[in-house]
A and B are shown apart, each in its own frame.
Chain A
């Protein structure tokens, strides 16, 4: 027991010192604020300089920068930040370091292009990133699909989208639906059916769970948009027929305009408020009809 005592003291001292150091550092972080742990700073902005400085291990450095870009966007997204000034430079450096890192073009451009708050709301930079990817990887037809997607959904440039799908369809090994997609752009641009077709292709062509979830959310939002528009049309019809606002869904069912209480794709009943406006029970991302109601 006597021999153990010094060891116990030493360990106790070690534990106390470590705990003290941890507490002191936490206080330091609090004093310095957020900058203490997450510096939104890029010390070297040139990918080419970094590539030279990597001594040939540029692939490893590209992985580090890609992870940094993901963390930068992800942590900002969680904190509901609206500015992502470093996202494009980080992705540009990543792809300078490793021009064949396809995920950086595919995922990075989605982070950049999607409208706020889902993304950074920088579709021009997103298109520039994917165009760089196409220059470096001309045989990878999926990048044309990503470019077409950005032009279609975020830039609303249907002509550029059609051209991207057309060029992509000419790459050997491209899926045959790329050609029909290009043709549909010319005729059905802006229609929800075409948007749904694009999201279905995104869902089917990826194994990433995050992207699949995103595609499902968009498909549900498109369905909800269509259903709300249809329900609203029936509510307005009831008003025209009876000259008064319906008192819940029951009024429409009794009038023969509905068979039962309508439900959204997540199986929750749609809400008909006292002003006769249709909406979802809970807020659903990407639903434009619900957003219109709020506004």
Chain B
């Protein structure tokens, strides 16, 4: 089982890395980091804060765009090229295919995040004229960004399992926007009563919560992140991603591929 899973994972990784869109986006992020010192010049007193905000926001946004753009084609492209039939005719189960695809894309995004983080730290080193102890705390924000990728990839894969790439992209991006407002949904639920309260609360827990995974502003002001938040966010990202993958498997297992 593990060898089949890893075969799908590494093939997905290889395929994603060959994708030219991926390289363009990384190049764009690196360029963005290069122009950040210039951005600091036209503002006053916050070159470092701007660098952290621009760098981490770009890392997060472009990672999410990559997750959506690559994720939407994970299943549909295999069907379109008829390669899915070749894979499934071998002793590879459908759930192994979905899980392998997920792991492959997460691996790609993690490698990308590491590359972007390297560029980001390099820019910090150049503009900050040396290494500061506060720079290490930024790793928490980068880790949370990777957790965002975990969830976003699982969501994209879920939509990719039953609809066309265009609709997958629309649904996934919409869910990202709704997920960024999930805390507002909970606040709204607190103001309602009865069935409405129950429904809104259920929706608030059903949609992904991206706001708690965004600590970029906190990192920019060197505010330490609570250890418990790191632990619970990790658990949340793992459970939510697993739930979305499980839903993808349920749909894909029942999908008629003829």
A and B associate in one complex: yes
Is A100's CB under 8 angstroms from B43's CB?
A: no
State the interface size on chain A (CB cutoff 8 A). 21
- Residue of A63, A98, A101, A103 contacting most chain B CB atoms (<10 Å): A63
- Is A70 positioned at the interface, with any CB of B under 8 Å from its CB? yes
Is B57's CB under 8 angstroms from A57's CB?
A: yes
- With the chains together, A161 CA to B8 CA distance in Å? 69
Is A67's CB under 8 angstroms from B217's CB?
A: no
Q: Give chain A nearest CB distance to B255 CB in angstroms.
A: 32
Q: Give chain A nearest CB distance to B236 CB in angstroms.
A: 15
Residues 180-208 (chain A) with a chain B CB within 8 angstroms? 208
- Is A141 positioned at the interface, with any CB of B under 8 Å from its CB? no
The closest CB in chain A to the CB of B43 belongs to: A67
- Is A30 positioned at the interface, with any CB of B under 8 Å from its CB? no
- Is B149 positioned at the interface, with any CB of A under 8 Å from its CB? no
The closest CB in chain B to the CB of A106 belongs to: B45
Q: Which of A57, A59, A67, A100 contacts B61 (CB 8 A)?
A: A57
- Is B221 positioned at the interface, with any CB of A under 8 Å from its CB? yes
Q: Could you say which residues of chain B place their CB within 8 Å of the CB of A103?
A: 44-46, 49
- With the chains together, A71 CA to B54 CA distance in Å? 18
- Is A171 positioned at the interface, with any CB of B under 8 Å from its CB? no
Is B42's CB under 8 angstroms from A71's CB?
A: yes
Q: Could you say which residues of chain B place their CB within 8 Å of the CB of A56?
A: 180, 210-211, 214, 216
- The tally of CB-CB contacts under 8 A between chains A and B is 63
Is A59's CB under 8 angstroms from B42's CB?
A: no
- Is B253 positioned at the interface, with any CB of A under 8 Å from its CB? no
- Is B220 positioned at the interface, with any CB of A under 8 Å from its CB? yes
- Is B207 positioned at the interface, with any CB of A under 8 Å from its CB? no
Q: Which of A52, A59, A67, A100 contacts B57 (CB 8 A)?
A: A59
Given contacts A66-B43, A71-B42, contact A101 B210 (CB under 8 A): no
- Residue of B46, B54, B214 contacting most chain A CB atoms (<10 Å): B46
Interface residues of A (CB under 8 A from B): 52, 55-60, 62-63, 66-67, 70-71, 98, 100-101, 103, 106-107, 208, 210
